[in-house]
Amino acid sequence: MSTPAAYFRILRVGYVLVREGVIASLPDEDIPPPVRMAKRLLAPFARRAANSTERSDRVARAVERLGPSYVKIGQFLATRPDVVGVELANDLAKLQDRMAFFPEGAARASVEGSLGRRLEELYTRFDPPIAAASIAQVHPAEVITPEGPRKVAVKVARPGVRQRFARDLEAMYLVSRLQERFIPSSRRLRPTEVTRTLEQTTRIEMDLRLEAAALSEIAENTAADPGFRVPKVDWERTGRDVLTMEWIDGIKMSNVVALAEAGHDLHALADTLIQSFLRHTLRDGFFHADMHPGNLFVDPAGMIVAVDMGIVGRLGKKERRFLAEILYGFITRDYRRVAEVHFEAGYVPSHHDVASFAQAIRAIGEPIHGQPAETISMGKLLTLLFEVTELFDMETRPELVMLQKTMVVVEGVARMLNPRFNMWKAAEPVVGDWIRDNLGPKRIVTDLRDGARALMKLAEAAPDIVAKTEKFHSELLHMSEHGVRFDRRTAEDIGRAEARHSRSGRIALWIIAATLLAVTVHIW
């Protein structure tokens, strides 16, 4: 149930978007006629200065005014072009997660409160912050180890960030429910489910212990991988609001000139980056989902070091096989197989025709085979694929969309290092090995082993299943003979809840009307 405060927050967001010219700059394509009309009516209320800037600048300015929670929401939606559209997603991807520093005293208090020890007992030096984002800021510090003093990076969560995000999220849930109710075409995108995913991922990101766990897991997965690593976690100095990790002395991948001057092989770095990402995706089913150049360093030894693991993605075995098979199908021009994989995975409803879907897939694949290999983007291929699947009622798969968006970013970094980067040649050693191991004869052995394990678990659970089935059967018989009855307390609770809902709805409508009147008076 939404509170009146949620309606207020929606109005504030709408007002800021109008004033900064974001609404006026939205493309007219795929916008319902009533929304298009509202956009034209609101366009004159934008600030004059806003109308003279690019849309990405308008979006950045609006998000900056709305606060840190909306920076994080915007960055999340940048990974969902299926929801906000490709153009707006690209604008949101340019959001700079650079926020004002919060006081050093608050950071010290947060560290001590989270770890339960005085700061002086934890660090021999704790310096002022050097970087601040929507959720946390980073302080250089120093600790004493048996080997001597060691420099570390200390990430400290913003005070009150969870409470602010929870309030802003309530408004987003309300918008999602209204969207599903009044824009039927959006239901395929499951906006409420998207908001729930945002809530889950951001809550995880706000608990720095979970980011530390992600760093630890990917460190184990990549221990034997060539050319890639992540910072080591200092678990003794890590808690819910503080993450202490190895300090990385390296060059950001965004600084191509500095990388070249330091003697690093840019082409080899591009190959290593793509191969590492594909290993994480296909082999481990666990990948860094925010691999922009600012989160990637190259250390003096030439190793790629990925930082900021707040956003990660996971793929199950089915999703990994799906990805590998569609890539392999496009490479071999087996469009029928690509189509069948979509139906086997349950992504496309069975009432559609496989041959018609294969024809649509061919429309994507054939133009690609006429291009030089270095111009073909795997991320772009998946983007086109998802656009086609929309015509066949394929529901949004958040994990696949996050993968596709991350792949676009990683490919962009690789081509920044090597403008003639051949994605398919670089990917072949990893994708080819995975396909041979998982789609060839070895797959049958693996499937048989997994099936045997599943049967063993089913046999172990059989007594409980039988007992629960008997209990459910007896309850069904009782309900069929006596009907479903609420006790008196339950009936009274339902009545009170309905009354509160009706009352709060009326109050909210009056608040919205009064606020709109006040905004109109202010504008005029």
In 3D space, the residue among 412, 434, 286, 423 whose CA is nearest the CA of residue 368 turns out to be 423
For helices 488-523 and 4-19, what crossing angle results, to 10°?
30
- Mean pLDDT comparison of 14-23, 70-79, 80-89, 186-195, highest-scoring range: 14-23
pLDDT tens digits, 88-112: 777 776 665 567 889 999 999 999 9
pLDDT tens digits, 415-458: 899 988 888 788 888 888 888 887 666 555 555 666 666 677 76
Q: Is the pLDDT assigned to residue 372 strictly greater than 60?
A: yes
pLDDT tens digits, 502-522: 544 444 444 444 444 444 434
- The per-residue DSSP string of 305-363 comes to EE---SSEEE--HHHHHHHHHHHHHHHHT-HHHHHHHHHHTT-S-TTS-HHHHHHHHHH
Residues with Cβ < 8 Å from 333, sequence gap 6 or more? 365, 366, 369
pLDDT tens digits, 189-204: 677 877 887 787 778 7
In 3D space, the residue among 168, 209, 172, 212 whose CA is nearest the CA of residue 192 turns out to be 172
In 3D space, the residue among 377, 379, 388, 373 whose CA is nearest the CA of residue 339 turns out to be 388
pLDDT reported for residue 202: 79
Q: Is the pLDDT assigned to residue 210 strictly greater than 90?
A: yes
pLDDT tens digits, 323-364: 888 777 877 788 898 889 888 888 888 888 999 989 988 888
Contact 23, 41 (CB under 8 A): no
**Distance from C-alpha of 392 to C-alpha of 485, rounded to nearest angstrom:** 43
Q: Is the pLDDT assigned to residue 115 strictly greater than 80?
A: yes
- Residue 239: DSSP 8-state: B
pTM to 2 decimal places = 0.72
The answer to whether 290 is a known catalytic residue is yes
pLDDT reported for residue 74: 79
pLDDT reported for residue 494: 59
**pLDDT averaged over every residue in the chain:** 80
Can you say whether the dihedral through the CA atoms of 344, 347, 350, 353 is positive or negative? negative
- pLDDT tier at 272, thresholds 50, 70, 90: very high
**Distance from C-alpha of 448 to C-alpha of 446, rounded to nearest angstrom:** 5
pLDDT reported for residue 516: 45
pLDDT reported for residue 39: 73
Helix (H) or strand (E) holding 134: none
Any idea where the domains of the chain sit in the sequence? 4-97+164-203, 248-439
- Could you identify the residue written with the tokens 């006790």? 487
Residue 125, phi then psi, degrees to nearest 5: -150, 140
**Distance from C-alpha of 444 to C-alpha of 432, rounded to nearest angstrom:** 17
Q: Is pLDDT larger for residue 161 or for residue 5? A: 161
Contact 315, 285 (CB under 8 A): yes
* Tokens, residue 49: 């200065």
In 3D space, the residue among 211, 57, 245 whose CA is nearest the CA of residue 138 turns out to be 245
* Tokens, residue 88: 């707006």
Other CB atoms within a 10 A radius of the CB of residue 377 amount to: 18
Pairing state between β 136-145 and 251-252 = unpaired
Q: Is the pLDDT assigned to residue 405 strictly greater than 70?
A: yes
Q: Percent of the chain having pLDDT more than 90?
A: 27
pLDDT tens digits, 282-319: 999 999 988 888 889 999 999 999 998 888 888 988 88
- pLDDT tier at 214, thresholds 50, 70, 90: very high
In 3D space, the residue among 377, 389, 400 whose CA is nearest the CA of residue 320 turns out to be 400
pLDDT tens digits, 19-53: 887 777 776 665 667 767 777 777 777 776 666 67
Greatest CA span in the chain, whole angstroms?
Answer: 83
Active-site pick, 97, 234, 241, 290:
290
- Residue 374: DSSP 8-state: G
- Mean pLDDT comparison of 162-176, 232-246, 423-437, 501-515, highest-scoring range: 232-246
Contact 79, 397 (CB under 8 A): no
pLDDT reported for residue 260: 94
**341 residue type, one letter:** V
- Residue 100: DSSP 8-state: P
